[in-house]
Copies of this chain bind each other. A is one copy, B any other.
Amino acid sequence: MSTGKHKLAQPDPGDVPKAVINRLSLYLRELQHLLRSGKTTISSSQLGRMLGFTDAQVRKDLTCFGHFGHPGIGYRCEELVAAIRRILGTDRVWTVALFGVGNLGRALLGYKGFSAKGFQIVAAFDEDPRKAGATIDGIRVHPMDRLDEVIANQRIQLAMITVPAAAAQHVADTAIKAGVVGVVNFAPVTLTVPQEISLVGVDLATELEQISFSVANREKS
């Protein structure tokens, strides 16, 4: 058996709420900060307070996947980081291709946070032939028609889409046909993908609308 000493339950992922996975990411981020500042253990209530959750919530979330805590002690940070990374699948390295080398695309190519978390952008694509051939932040920009070849050769698993809205669906279809199994879409459109493909959409304007609503309506208690 390859992985560590603590039992990792494997519940049907279908019955783990999506919100739990989101919080797991936040726990992980917080734990990594804690580790850097030298803390070795933490209780569910401390961790919860840092993020605005209750202690029970933290424990429930974690026990979806196994028994990581130590009664009377709390959670050992290092242990829990390892466990969450295994749960999220970020204990391995993922290969990512970026589609659309515009402003946002370039910014993402240079973003250090991805490789730190195990996501390696290994190729970029752009329709504009003047961009293809360039190397940005060490990443080669290919023309779109090399897509199949590059995805296959470099065994690319995930796609980040930063092309204009009108092109996003076509790019997603093509990338998926070439073998990509997960997509992060930054274009402000709803994409349709086969159900075995994982998809998350990040719409920056939508995020601002959440703020706008809550500011416009902050005359509550």
Chain A residues packing against B (C-beta within 8 Å): 12-14, 18, 21-22, 24-26, 28-30, 33, 50-52, 87-90, 94, 96, 102-104, 106-108, 110-111, 113-114, 116-119, 157-158, 181-184, 188-190, 196, 198-200, 202-218, 220-221
With A108-B204, A205-B114, A205-B117 as given contacts, are A26 and B190 in contact (CB-CB < 8 Å)? yes
Q: Indicate if the CB atoms of B190 and A200 lie closer than 8 Å.
A: no
With A51-B190, A190-B30, A220-B12 as given contacts, are A211 and B200 in contact (CB-CB < 8 Å)? yes
Q: Indicate if the CB atoms of B212 and A202 lie closer than 8 Å.
A: no
> Which of A104, A157, A204, A213 has the largest count of B CB atoms less than 10 A from its CB?
A213
Q: Indicate if the CB atoms of B26 and A206 lie closer than 8 Å.
A: yes
6 tightest A-B contacts by CB?
A89-B216, A107-B107, A13-B217, A103-B107, A198-B214, A182-B211
- Report B-chain residues with C-beta under 8 Å of the C-beta of A28: 209
With A108-B204, A119-B208 as given contacts, are A215 and B182 in contact (CB-CB < 8 Å)? yes
- Report B-chain residues with C-beta under 8 Å of the C-beta of A29: 188-190, 203, 206
> Which of A24, A52, A88, A205 has the largest count of B CB atoms less than 10 A from its CB?
A205
Identify 26 residue pairs between A and B in the complex whose beta-carbon atoms are under 8 Å apart, listed by A's number. A13-B218, A13-B220, A14-B220, A18-B210, A21-B209, A25-B210, A30-B190, A50-B190, A90-B209, A94-B212, A103-B106, A103-B107, A103-B110, A114-B205, A119-B205, A157-B215, A158-B208, A158-B215, A182-B212, A182-B215, A184-B208, A196-B218, A198-B211, A198-B215, A200-B207, A200-B211
- Report B-chain residues with C-beta under 8 Å of the C-beta of A190: 26, 29-30, 50-52
Q: Please report the C-alpha to C-alpha distance between residue A138 and residue B89 in the assembled complex, in whole angstroms.
A: 42
Q: Indicate if the CB atoms of B215 and A89 lie closer than 8 Å.
A: yes
